[in-house]
Structure 1
Amino acid sequence: MKHVPELFYLPEMLTNEYSINFGTTQVGRNLDSVKLPPWAQTPVDFIHKHRMALESEHVSAHLNEWIDLIFGYKQLGREAILSNNMFLYITYEGTVDINKISDPVQQCATRNKIAYFGQTPSQLLIVPHMKKMPLSETIFRNPRAVKPYAVPRPECCNLPASAIHACSDALIIVGTNAPAAHIAQHKWQPNTPDDQGTPFMFEHGKAIASSAGGALIRMLKMPAGSGSDEEQFPQALAYASSGIRSSSIVSITCDKEIVTGGHADNSIKLLSSDGAKTLETAFGHCAPVTCLALSPDNNYLVTGSRDTTVLLWRIHRALTSSSSSTSEATADPGTPTPTTGTLANTLAEKSRKHRIEGPIHVLRGHHNEVICCCVNSDLGIVVSCGHSSDVLLHSIRKGCLMRRFAGVVADTVCLSSAGIILTWNQSQHVLRTFTLNGIPVATAKVPSFGGLSCMEISVDGNSALIGMNSSSNGVLHVLKLGKGQDIAALALDKDNTNLLVSTADKQLIIFTNPTLSKKMAEKKPKVGRENGREETQGW
């Protein structure tokens, strides 16, 4: 796990990048870039340390005290006097009505006093503001307390995996033969101890051997009488293109659906997790898709191809039964003009037919095959890299090329929620971070005997998970696996409390802090007693 600096403002605002003439000071010195204090090495370091101080646990723990003074119960009255929080009387809201002052000189003087002394904000609270909850027990906060737990009966887990997705109630695992991969959906509940002493509950998914697609694949590709356990899960019907990494062409949505590339017909497909059925097929590339990625909010999909282009798609969420029932309730059959209901049904039917919309933009600039891409809709940025070519940044809104990181060759790229780009160069064995303007932030050299298998940045953008087949230097903490347990895929749950790792020897290992599940277990009975009933745990 490597720490990734997060920025609040871009550090470029502190530098005179375009050599603008701002004049001189009173002593004749030219005004140029902001002069940094001795404790800041670079503008990036200056912004980062301010962000860390403002969001530290100490500041967060006392933030309510500041709110009480400015907006809360300590703004007025006896509590304000005890807190030495008194100001000029005319600065308080409602104390003086300017329009009722008849003397123009007195009215002007009062206006000037208010203008010079300022205005006290409106009082919003008359009771103490509650304290901010302490930071959750993520695996990054106390990594030494994190322990590995192997999932029992791993032969029933569809391993090794090319992609893993952890929800609050389910675990989706896609096999390594993507796009013609087996898909398993398991039930699990994180941070909830079971009766075996494990800090999570896990129930293996049921195999669907009668799936038509899986039966056809077995008939065409599997030897007769093959009894391996992974074949019991449904398998997607696909014709794969050769020479493409399976982990690069699989992504799992928040609706528990799978998007795959690498098909021989140059398409991308949307699959169901409960039966590996093809829900939708979309075309746009002139060559097989070699990489794809979803935005964190699952609204956009970006795909790279051997045709050297990157395509941007829009993803529509699956319609739930509640939304469809609402649309039906809107259209009253007794009214003579059901135009609104008809239009809603038409749009719903259209979105139901076309879950993958696009391509919206064709992003150009690479000269060779695109090998990795990522997208963030909040930042409005698409980042991509190709074989022996620069890292490119494109705009989501216009699809234009915004920046080229000249000379930065990467085999894998990741984009954090704060606008930090993390790159990995396999030949140089170097991890590097950049701002969106291409300014280098940090560099970490990895030993030459180490190989990076997968890389992911946490949702908050503060940390990165790097799956390697050997230990590395310059990291925050190393979670070591057993001998020969090369990492095939890894995933974080939403609150960063569980790290799921699939290994090449078909093991599923979950790293978590066991004390968190104990705290959760202690809270649940207390909540049940307060509500006058006993909480029971079930699926």
Structure 2
Amino acid sequence: EENLQDVRELIPEFYFLPDLFCNSNHFDFGQTQRNQIVHDVILPPWARGDPHEFIRMHRAALESRHVSEQLQHWIDLVFGFKQRGAQAVTAQNVFVHLTYENEVDIDEITDPHARKATIDQIQNFGQTPSRLFPRKPHPRKAVPDVVRIEYFRDGQLAASEASEVACGLSPPARGLVPVPAVDSSALNWHKHLAPPLCIVGAPSQAALTEVQGGGIRDQRGAVAALHRGAVGDVQLQEDRIVGVGENCVFLGRQGRGVVTFGGFDCGIVVHPTIQAQRAREKDRPRHLEQLHHQPVSCVTVCEDSSWLVTGSFDGTIRIWSFVRRGLPHSSAELRATLCGHGDAVRSLDACPGYGIVVSGGVDSLVNVWDLHSGQFLRSLSSHSIPVTSVSVNTSTGDILTLAGFELCLHTVNGVLIAMSSLANVPRVMGHPPTCMVSTHCCEWPAHSIVAAVGHDNGAVTLWSIQRHEKGRDSGRFSQTASAQDQASASDQRCENALAEAGAGGKEPAVVESARHAVQCRAFELRQYLTPNEEAGKHAVTALRVANRGSDLLVGDAAGTLRRWTALRLDQLSTDDLKTVLFS
């Protein structure tokens, strides 16, 4: 209101890119008038000097209920009736006339200097989007309440007294018993907003129940011979859990085929599971031999079946692209050969959305590669023992790695943000992890499940990242102080330097500004899932999060399949509901 020329814009990177605030390349941005070297961006106190926490809280605010219910005001300013006219003037939403749609026709300007000046102004100020809702205010988005509190007296609903309490006209009288009631229709509205494997309606709580089981030997189909031994991969097809045996992975999201590997021909075999377009191709596997110099040790297939990545005991990785988007009888074209491991490649994962391939090897290295060019990007040197599993979060690009009992989480740019030794957790102690998978959760929910880990006793543990709590730090900083503390100390040093310079007539000393100390947090055990007695306690060999994060599919060394699904609030008993809501 004081200075209309002070226009600031929160660009999209403020909500997903913590690297925006770090001068990781150590560029020389000069110094301020107080002789303070400009380095990392100084963050507000509530971010605790951690750019990742700043981004998380910024995104959480953007996705909050308050913003959802006030979003119509922004729509009115940008796309609606307050974009132009008297309403725009009242809202101080007026910009340079050249930025508005249809205000100037570049083709009609004949003077080259005027034409260039007009184009420069448009490029400098940007362009106002089209006016989509010109006549009336945009309707407010209503977010339904999942839970309402009902009051009972002597077992009977006290509707009149409850309405007075709800309106704040009177406090709850003695004898009124509050009972939470769940609105199922509102719960359906919130279903797709729940973080993976968390209770629908209570996103900060995790609770799963086993709903389906079976064995891979009970399955039938074109690849029935592959359904034996330990489970190599699991998938949800037509709301039914299916699995394939050891050294097998599904080809694509709908199980259009099965890829087997590990043979002495140093190749793979693609078995079709769908009806072929031509009769002579029906149920005919396709052999791709001599892909490496030694047998293939691991394979990963992108969900759209467009990319296939193979790792070998010779330490090499090869990226293949499928013609006709991964149909079982299409040809595979070699795109790149990656060399960066000194021993066998043990685990692979690929993320087309972020364009990366992650590999973990017996040499304890975790390497990150460019999916399209095959170039080496970086190595994550967090482990000192052979890597068991790697998994990429397709929502954030975060890279989850497991080596022995050690679980680590890096950003897509290689910054370590969480690390824990699971051997120190009492319930996990003595049961080594055997496999792991990322839940593909978003970064802003404070208590979301980020990893599911399988163990040698058949149990599955769910893990989240410890966050800041009021009054204490849940993680650990590096030996340097936080950026906010450094900023305060730096300001004090500037004051001292300026005072000394003024007293002695000398040039003031140059003081370096604050640098961020990225906090490495710890993992927190959220739930411990145990198999029933009939299934036995066999090592978990395959994990997958399915059905938009609501289901966890598990396969073990005995060929047993299990399916766990996240509970809804309306599936809880009254006592459990009170515990979840009021704990």
Provide closer, same or farther for how the CA distance between residues 57 and 485 of structure 1 changes in structure 2, counting only shifts above 3 A.
Answer: farther
- Give the letter for the 1:439 counterpart: V
Contact residue 305 and residue 325 of structure 2 kept, 8 A:
no
Provide Cα deviations, 1:110-169, integer angstroms capped at 9, x if missing partner: 99x999999754311246368496451565342545322234798735575321111445
CA RMSD in angstroms comes to: 4.1
Contact residue 459 and residue 494 of structure 1 kept, 8 A:
no
Q: Displacement, 1:77?
A: 7.4
Provide closer, same or farther for how the CA distance between residues 172 and 517 of structure 1 changes in structure 2, counting only shifts above 3 A.
Answer: farther
Corresponding position of 2:91: 85
The question of 1:444 aligning with 2:420 is answered: yes
Contact residue 61 and residue 134 of structure 1 kept, 8 A:
no
**Cα separation, 2, equivalents of 1:380 and 1:317:** 20
Corresponding position of 2:453: 466
Give the 3-state SS of the residue equivalent to 1:150 in structure 2.
Answer: strand
Q: Displacement, 1:10?
A: 4.1
Corresponding position of 1:477: 527
Q: Displacement, 1:48?
A: 2.8
The question of 1:414 aligning with 2:410 is answered: no
Provide closer, same or farther for how the CA distance between residues 500 and 310 of structure 1 changes in structure 2, counting only shifts above 3 A.
Answer: same
Corresponding position of 1:423: 401
**Cα separation, 2, equivalents of 1:387 and 1:153:** 31
The question of 1:269 aligning with 2:269 is answered: yes
Give the 3-state SS of the residue equivalent to 1:24 in structure 2.
Answer: coil
Contact residue 271 and residue 285 of structure 2 kept, 8 A:
yes
Q: 2:551 aligns with which of 487, 490, 498?
A: 498
Give the 3-state SS of the residue equivalent to 1:378 in structure 2.
Answer: coil
Q: Displacement, 1:505?
A: 5.5
Provide closer, same or farther for how the CA distance between residues 285 and 98 of structure 1 changes in structure 2, counting only shifts above 3 A.
Answer: closer
Give the 3-state SS of the residue equivalent to 2:76 in structure 1.
Answer: helix
- Give the letter for the 1:263 counterpart: G
- Give the letter for the 1:490 counterpart: L
**Cα separation, 2, equivalents of 1:287 and 1:95:** 65
Provide Cα deviations, 1:231-255, integer angstroms capped at 9, x if missing partner: xxxxxxxxxxxxxxx3xx5343235
Provide closer, same or farther for how the CA distance between residues 56 and 261 of structure 1 changes in structure 2, counting only shifts above 3 A.
Answer: farther
**Cα separation, 1, equivalents of 2:123 and 2:292:** 62
Q: Displacement, 1:363?
A: 0.1
Give the 3-state SS of the residue equivalent to 1:264 in structure 2.
Answer: coil
The question of 1:53 aligning with 2:61 is answered: yes
**Cα separation, 1, equivalents of 2:259 and 2:72:** 44
Provide closer, same or farther for how the CA distance between residues 442 and 61 of structure 1 changes in structure 2, counting only shifts above 3 A.
Answer: farther
Corresponding position of 2:157: none
Corresponding position of 1:162: 232
- Give the letter for the 2:291 counterpart: G
- Give the letter for the 1:399 counterpart: G
Corresponding position of 1:21: 28
**Cα separation, 2, equivalents of 1:393 and 1:304:** 14
**Cα separation, 1, equivalents of 2:283 and 2:122:** 69
Provide Cα deviations, 1:287-314, integer angstroms capped at 9, x if missing partner: 1111111224332111111111011111
Provide closer, same or farther for how the CA distance between residues 93 and 150 of structure 1 changes in structure 2, counting only shifts above 3 A.
Answer: closer
Provide closer, same or farther for how the CA distance between residues 515 and 432 of structure 1 changes in structure 2, counting only shifts above 3 A.
Answer: closer
Q: Displacement, 1:38?
A: 2.6
Contact residue 377 and residue 396 of structure 1 kept, 8 A:
yes
Contact residue 292 and residue 301 of structure 1 kept, 8 A:
yes
Corresponding position of 2:212: 150
Provide closer, same or farther for how the CA distance between residues 377 and 506 of structure 1 changes in structure 2, counting only shifts above 3 A.
Answer: closer
Provide closer, same or farther for how the CA distance between residues 353 and 115 of structure 1 changes in structure 2, counting only shifts above 3 A.
Answer: closer
Provide closer, same or farther for how the CA distance between residues 512 and 485 of structure 1 changes in structure 2, counting only shifts above 3 A.
Answer: same
The equivalences for 1:60-75 within 5 A come to 60-73=68-81, 75=83
The question of 1:432 aligning with 2:408 is answered: yes
**Cα separation, 2, equivalents of 1:13 and 1:510:** 40
Provide Cα deviations, 1:400-441, integer angstroms capped at 9, x if missing partner: 222223454432211222221111110xx1111112332211
Q: 2:312 aligns with which of 272, 288, 305?
A: 305
Corresponding position of 1:533: none
Provide closer, same or farther for how the CA distance between residues 260 and 116 of structure 1 changes in structure 2, counting only shifts above 3 A.
Answer: closer
- Structure 1, gaps ≥5 residues long: 1-5, 101-109, 179-245, 320-350, 519-539
Identical-residue share of aligned pairs (%):
28
- Give the letter for the 2:210 counterpart: P
Q: Displacement, 1:442?
A: 0.8
Q: Displacement, 1:271?
A: 0.9
Q: Displacement, 1:30?
A: 1.2
Provide closer, same or farther for how the CA distance between residues 152 and 467 of structure 1 changes in structure 2, counting only shifts above 3 A.
Answer: closer
Give the 3-state SS of the residue equivalent to 1:265 in structure 2.
Answer: coil
Provide closer, same or farther for how the CA distance between residues 145 and 46 of structure 1 changes in structure 2, counting only shifts above 3 A.
Answer: same
- Give the letter for the 2:344 counterpart: E
Corresponding position of 2:339: 364
Contact residue 383 and residue 391 of structure 1 kept, 8 A:
yes
Q: 1:388 aligns with which of 363, 366, 369?
A: 363
Corresponding position of 1:535: none
Give the 3-state SS of the residue equivalent to 1:49 in structure 2.
Answer: helix
The question of 1:286 aligning with 2:293 is answered: yes
**Cα separation, 1, equivalents of 2:378 and 2:216:** 45
**Cα separation, 2, equivalents of 1:253 and 1:492:** 15
Provide Cα deviations, 1:344-380, integer angstroms capped at 9, x if missing partner: xxxxxxx88543222x211001111111111222222
Give the 3-state SS of the residue equivalent to 2:527 in structure 1.
Answer: coil
**Cα separation, 2, equivalents of 1:445 and 1:456:** 17
The question of 1:124 aligning with 2:194 is answered: no
**Cα separation, 2, equivalents of 1:28 and 1:422:** 42
Give the 3-state SS of the residue equivalent to 2:25 in structure 1.
Answer: coil
Provide closer, same or farther for how the CA distance between residues 287 and 505 of structure 1 changes in structure 2, counting only shifts above 3 A.
Answer: closer
Q: Displacement, 1:278?
A: 1.5
The equivalences for 1:97-108 within 5 A come to none
| Greater Cα shift, 19-28 or 85-94 | 85-94
Provide closer, same or farther for how the CA distance between residues 457 and 96 of structure 1 changes in structure 2, counting only shifts above 3 A.
Answer: closer
Give the 3-state SS of the residue equivalent to 1:477 in structure 2.
Answer: strand
Q: Displacement, 1:507?
A: 4.3
Corresponding position of 1:195: none
| Greater Cα shift, 362-371 or 153-162 | 153-162
Provide Cα deviations, 1:242-291, integer angstroms capped at 9, x if missing partner: xxxx3xx5343235211121112111111123697513434310111111
**Cα separation, 1, equivalents of 2:382 and 2:214:** 47
Give the 3-state SS of the residue equivalent to 1:283 in structure 2.
Answer: coil
Q: Displacement, 1:14?
A: 2.2
Contact residue 197 and residue 551 of structure 2 kept, 8 A:
no
- Give the letter for the 2:267 counterpart: S
